[in-house]
Amino acid sequence: MSSDQPKKEISAIKGTHDILPEEARLWQLAEARAREIFELYGYRELRAPVIEPTELFEKGTGASSDIVTKEMYTFVDKGGRSVTLRPEYTPSVVRAIIEHRLDLQSQPLRYYYMGPMFRYDRPQKGRYRQFHQIDIEVFGEKDPAVDAEIVEMAHRLLARLGVEDVLTLVNSVGCKKCRPAYGQELRQAALAARDKLCPDCQRKAEVNPLRIFDCKNEVCRQVASGFPLIIDFLCAECRDHFHKFREYLDLYGIEYRVEPTLVRGLDYYTKTAFEIVAEHLGAQNAICGGGRYDDMVREFGGPDLCGIGFAMGLERLLSVARIQVPKDSFVYFAYLGDQAKKESLRLARVLRSEGIECLVEFRDRGMKAHFSRANKLGADWVLIIGEDELKKGKYQLKDMVNSRQFEGSALELAGIIKGKKILEIG
Ligand code: HAM
C-alpha cells in the first residue's frame, strides 16, 4: 500500500463499546455494590473462561433457543475445535461444578460473577453484541424460599443502585412431568394458527411453540394471547412450588405480577421463571431475568443437583441506576527546580505508601502554572516544594477545597490528608 493513501481508522466492532475512565467509575461502583450484597447472602465469586466448547451452549442454553440458532459467536480454533464466546454464563457454571466436583461441597452452593457476554443480535439501544452481566446461581436447594430469596436479593441490589419503577414478572414454566401435555396442546393451537404467524414463529410452531410467546411481532402476540397457558397444566408439585414461591415473595413484601406468557428465551427453565423490567426503558426493558433449572446438571452427566439463578444486564442497569461516584481525591505536587522535583518523587512514594493518591508531573512549570494545572485537574490538595521547604524539610500543603494551608513533615501532612491531625498555620 502506498504511504500517501489516507489511513483508515480502525474502530470498535459494531455492537461493542469502550468504557472510558469516567464511566468506568460508575461500573466499578455498581460492581462493588453487587459484590457487597451477594457476599451478604453467602455468595462467592466463580470465574469461568470467556470461550467454551460450542456444545456447552448447544446443550445447555438449548438447541431451539434464538441464542443458539442465531446469535452465537462461534468459530473453529487453530486446533480444529468449535469454540464459542459465551452468550450467557449459566452453562459455564454448570460445567465448572461437574468438572471440579463442587457438588461434593456442602450445599447449597452459591456463586456470582460479573463479566462480558456475546450475542450476535441486531444492535440497538439496550442491546449489544458484547454486553455485561451480573450473574448469580444457586445449586442444591429445592425449597421455593430460595427462589424468593434471589428475587429479594435482586431487589436489594436495584434499591442500592437507585433503580426505581421496576416491575417484577413471575411465572412457572412447569417441569418434565407436566410440560409435555401442555406442549402438545400448545403445538396444536400454534399449528392451527400457523398461517397468521410470522415466518420465524411458523418455524417455532414446529420445533418449540413456547418460543412464540417471546415474539415481539404484534400479530403474533395477538394470536398467542389465545393459546393455552402453562399455568393451567402444572402438575401438583409445580403448582405447590409456585404457590409457596409467591407466599415467600409476599413475606418479603415484594410486589410482582403473575405473567402467564413469560417463558424466557432459554430452553432450560423448570418451575420458576421471572423477569424484572424497567418500564420506561422501551423495547429492551428487561434488566434482570432468571429462573430455576432443575435438570441441567444431570443432563450434562453430573449429579442430580437442582439450580436457580438470574442475570442482570449491566448496561441496562446503569442506564436506569441513580448512583453518584465520589470525587477522586489526590495530591498535586507543585515543585520548583530539579532538587524539588526529586524530593517530590521521594515524597510521593511516602504518601502513596500511606494510601494517598499522588500526581507528580514531569514538565517544568512556574508556581502559578502549577496551581492552574492543579485546578484544572481538580486536585484536592497541592503540596508545595520550593527552596525554603527543601531547606526546612517541612512542606506546605494547600487544601484546595477549603482554602486552608498547613505546614509539616511528609508524615504529618499524610496525617492531615487522611483527616487525622490538623496543624493549621494560615
Ligand atoms: P437473559 O434473559 O438472556 O438470561 O439475560 C439476562 C439479562 O442480560 C437481560 O435481562 C438483559 O438485561 C441482559 N441482556 C441480555 N442480552 C443482552 C444484550 N444483547 N445486550 C444488553 N443486555 C443484554 C440469561 O442470560 C440467563 N443466563 C439468566 C439466568 C441465570 N438464568 C438462570 N441463571
Q: What is the pLDDT of residue 210?
A: 87
Residue type, 199: P
State mean pLDDT over 24-43.
Answer: 98
Q: What is the pLDDT of residue 211?
A: 85
- Give the C-alpha distances (Å, rounded to integers) separating 405 from 382, 395, 401: 9, 10, 11
pLDDT of 293 strictly over 70: yes
Go through the domains of the chain in sequence order and give each one's CATH number.
21-174+244-320 (3.30.930.10), 179-233 (no CATH), 331-417 (3.40.50.800)
CA distance 179 to 175: 6
Mean pLDDT for all residues in the chain: 94
Instruction: Convert the pLDDT of each residue in 138-190 to its tens digit.
Output: 999 999 999 999 999 999 999 999 999 999 999 999 999 999 999 999 999 99
Query: Which residues, judged by CB distance below 6 Å to any ligand atom, belong to the binding site of ligand 1?
Result: 88-90, 119, 121, 126-128, 131, 133, 135, 137, 265-266, 286-291, 309-313, 315-316
CB 404 within 8 A of CB 352: no
Cell of 402: 477549603
392 phi, psi to nearest 5 deg:
-75, -25
Instruction: Quote the ligand 1 centre to 293 CA distance (angstroms).
Output: 15
User: From start to end of 57-178, where are the E strands?
Assistant: 73-76, 82-85, 109-118, 130-139, 166-172
Q: Which of 60-64, 98-102, 143-147 has the lowest mean pLDDT?
A: 60-64
**Lowest-pLDDT range of 195-199, 293-297, 314-318:** 195-199
Q: Which pLDDT tens digit goes with each residue over 223-241?
A: 999 999 999 999 999 999 9
| pLDDT score of 421 | 45
- pLDDT average, residue stretch 290-310: 97
Q: Phi and psi at residue 408, in whole multiples of 5°? A: 175, 175
Which residue's CA is minimally distant from atom 21 of ligand 1? 127
- Point out the ligand 1 atom lying closest to the alpha carbon of residue 137: 33
- pLDDT, average across residues 11-23: 97
The pLDDT value given to residue 426 = 44
pLDDT of residue 2 exceeding 60? no
Residue 191 pLDDT > 80: yes
Whole-Å CA distances, 252 to 112, 188, 242: 22, 40, 15
Binned at pLDDT 50, 70 and 90, residue 4 comes out as low
pLDDT recorded at residue 65: 87
Phi, psi dihedral angles at 135 (to 5 degrees): -125, 140
Does 402 have pLDDT greater than 80? yes
**pLDDT at position 3:** 55
- Backbone dihedral angles phi then psi of residue 101, each to the nearest 5 degrees: 50, 45
3-state secondary structure of 266: coil
Residue-wise pLDDT tens digits, 338-365: 999 999 999 999 999 999 999 999 998 9
φ, ψ (nearest 5 deg) of residue 255:
-80, 140
The pLDDT tens digits for 253-279 are 999 999 999 988 888 999 999 999 998
Q: How far are the Cα atoms of 3, 62, 177, 317 from residue 139, in angstroms, in the given order? A: 59, 20, 21, 25
Can you tell me which atom of ligand 1 is nearest the CA of 90? 27
Q: Whose CA is nearest to atom 15 of ligand 1?
A: 313
Q: What is the mean pLDDT of residues 203-230?
A: 90
- How large is the average pLDDT for residues 286-296? 98
